[in-house]
Chain A
Amino acid sequence: MREFLKNDPAMQRPRVNGWAVWDREFSKRLGARGWVGMNWPKMYGGGERTAFERLVVVEELLAAGAPASAHWIADRQAGPMLLRFGSEAQRAELLPKMAAGECGFCLGMSEPDSGSDLASVSTRATPVDGGWLLNGTKLWTSHAHRAEYMMLFCRSGHSGETEGRHSGVSQFVVDMRTPGLEIRPVYDQVGSHDFNEVTFTDAFVPETALVGEEGAGWRQVMSELALERSGAERFMSSFVLMREAVRALEGSTDPGALRLVGRLTSHLWTLRNMSLSIAGLLQAGASVDLEAALLKDLGAVLEQEIPEVVRLLVDSAPMRASEDALARLLGEAVLLAPTFSLRGGTREVLRNIISRGLGLR
């Protein structure tokens, strides 16, 4: 894996937060080597490797700053979701393409009025002859304009507001070419177009688009949430910047600098141990919502601390277009860092979850 990454053309330029950078050709090259959907059954294009072998690949991609977003959601979330809850037809049709790195997913979760409070979503699927009509708006949908499918989370049927907030929601696999589905870009402060607003106006999806049980969407999503929160991408997004700072410091004997490097290293090693430990618990079928929240909260702090510490370590100015790798990575990290404690559960929501786990709520 390290050898492959060293020689792959996409690795000419390692990136901070590389796992959110889309490169379809790179994902296909990984797929061809069997490094996407590694732990899925062979009959669906997987490699029947262990979850730990998959983690090794995930970590190496992150450590290299590889552009891995074109298959990330499919590999981490949509694939396992379909394996667990999807129909046989969905698995047979989608998983092999996903494992080949040819079929990317985006997540239709947040809405203009539903951010941290996911249960308040109002996008709705209404049953009609032979399928469902979708109406509503999703926001902050990363890579909607590049993905083939969306894993959509929305209200369905007649249940909903009158019952519990957590009932009456369902998941659908939506083809991004569906008529009535419109994608508008939301440019971020870096000037990149990753976010989108996705609107559904009487967009028809067939019955076969429903994932799992109608009305069980909340439970299904929550059951996979620990996977989303406990992976190495929750503490390694800035790793390549830390490595570049170490490169700049090689040969230094300044005790202050050595200590800052030592401190970050102790955090990184500890978080990796926590992440692997959670993976072991997940594999054993344990509920790890609290542990995953702890890891993600600490991980985002480290990811955001790295650019701050690097400013103390190296006399450099962040500059995104610089030929100097450190200045460029520092520039990327500084501008991307605010999102590290927002995506996948904000810091405040995570701390509420931890507080609940501690018996305080």
Chain B
Amino acid sequence: MSNELNILTDQLEGFFQDRVTHQTLMNAEANGASTELWEECEAMGVIHPSLPQSLGGAELGVASERIVLERAARAALPLPLAETMLAGWLLARSGYTPPSGPLSVAGLTRGANLELRDGRLFGIAPRTHWARGASAIVVVVGSQLVLTSSKAASITEGVNLAGEPCDDLTYDGATPSWSGAIDLDPTAMMARGAAMRASQMAGAMSRVMELSLGYVNQRVQFGQPIGRFQAVQHPLAVAASHAAAARMAAIAAYDQLERLVDDAESFVFCAAMAKARASEAAGITAATAHQVHGAIGVTAEYHLHPFTKRLQDWRGDYGSEAWWQQYIGERVLRRGADELWPSITELTA
């Protein structure tokens, strides 16, 4: 890891933990993204950490994206960092400098049905994250990228499990501000989002584990901290091992992303495994955290639900467990039994 990246990582941890309080999160659920907080993130240089400087990025390498997302998720940062990074990466890949401000990506979610007719955009894009406040939305139409303002769509507002904007978009002949071709199929674009979500889940899981360990060491019942009971310790040990596996999977996917710039299929396979593995771990970790917390853990005032709700929501984003597991299974069966082990060893750094 470069020195610059190390410094950034340390700064980020403190910054996010300071700036994202329980109150910040409750305000965001009630009022949407905070412009002030976004501007502070911009000033930190964390919006497009891996893009080249010529395209407005910080040029810190692909791994920096994972690190920023993991740190932000450790604080449940209520901003569209991942969506903006994904949009920026897509635009940069087709040679366009990303606009400033929060961005969103439409057209990769299930149920999306979009087409370009005579250069105008028609169709629907359900469950588009952070669409309503985005300064621009990258719409994926097959192998074509289309840039629109959020006002170009009619928006039915919705929220994800964590109360973050997640809107249904309808386009009825919008004129894009830019459009261009991209050399990736939508599954590969989704895979990048999947690797991002895996990194975010790893971050949220690490925080959920810290909260749980802190709680069981402090909560006294039957005359001792409940963390002294083996019946409490062992489920936490299991959750910790799943959280560690999820983090490893996210790191490994990003390692491969760096190595396999020209081999989209292999990267998609790794991202698929990372997302599927992290999602499974997210369910176990969140459930265990709630179990050891008891009823206090599900109260609005207690600082656990911002993380467990995001974990449960992110599992379904950019490809659910069912979707990616099926994708992996198809590839494994297509390559055949004797290629199973070689295909694992090819895809480890």
Contacts and interface: CB of A to CB of B under 8 A. Distances in A.
Interface of A: 2, 59, 63, 239, 242-244, 246-247, 249-252, 255, 257-263, 265-274, 276-277, 291, 294, 297-298, 348, 350-352, 354-355, 358-361
A267 B277 contact: yes
Contacts of B245: 267, 270-271, 274, 294, 298
A294 B241 contact: yes
Interface of B: 209, 213, 216-217, 227-228, 230, 232-234, 236-238, 240-242, 244-245, 248-249, 251-252, 270, 272-274, 276-277, 280, 321-322, 324-330, 332-333, 336-338, 340-342, 344-345, 347-349
B115 to A, nearest CB: 28
Given A247-B336, A270-B273, 7 more contacts: A261-B328, A269-B344, A269-B348, A270-B249, A294-B241, A358-B236, A358-B237
A78 to B, nearest CB: 27
11 contacts: A247-B336, A265-B344, A266-B272, A269-B347, A273-B349, A274-B248, A348-B234, A351-B233, A351-B234, A352-B233, A361-B233
Taking each of B216, B238, B324, which has the highest tally of chain A beta carbons within 10 Å of its own beta carbon? B238
B238 A273 contact: no
Q: Which of A2, A59, A269, A276 has the most CB of B within 10 A?
A: A269
Contact of A242 (B237, B277, B325, B340): B340
Nearest to B235: A351
Contacts of A262: 272, 276, 324-330, 332
Contact of B252 (A250, A268, A269, A355): A269
B329 A273 contact: no
Nearest to A277: B248
Contacts of A351: 233-234, 237-238
A261 B332 contact: yes
Nearest to A254: B329
A59 B345 contact: yes
A361 B236 CA distance: 12
B347 A250 contact: no
A359 B252 contact: no
Contacts of A272: 344-345, 348
**4 nearest A-B pairs in the assembled complex, by CB-CB distance:** A258-B329, A262-B328, A262-B325, A247-B337
Nearest to A355: B233
Given A262-B325, A265-B332, A298-B245, A354 B344 contact: no
Given A262-B329, A273-B348, A298 B248 contact: no
Contact of A360 (B227, B244, B251, B345): B227
A246 B234 contact: no
B234 A263 contact: no
B237 A354 contact: yes
B277 A266 contact: yes
A273 B244 CA distance: 11
Contacts of A271: 245
A299 to B, nearest CB: 10
Given A274-B245, A355-B236, A266 B336 contact: no
Contacts of A350: 237
Nearest to B273: A266
A359 B213 contact: yes
A355 B234 CA distance: 7
Contact of B336 (A246, A268, A348): A246
A280 to B, nearest CB: 10
A233 B348 CA distance: 17
Nearest to B322: A259
Contacts of A244: 337
A289 to B, nearest CB: 13
Contacts of A274: 244-245, 248
A330 B80 CA distance: 48
A2 B338 CA distance: 11
Contacts of B336: 246-247, 250
Nearest to A242: B340
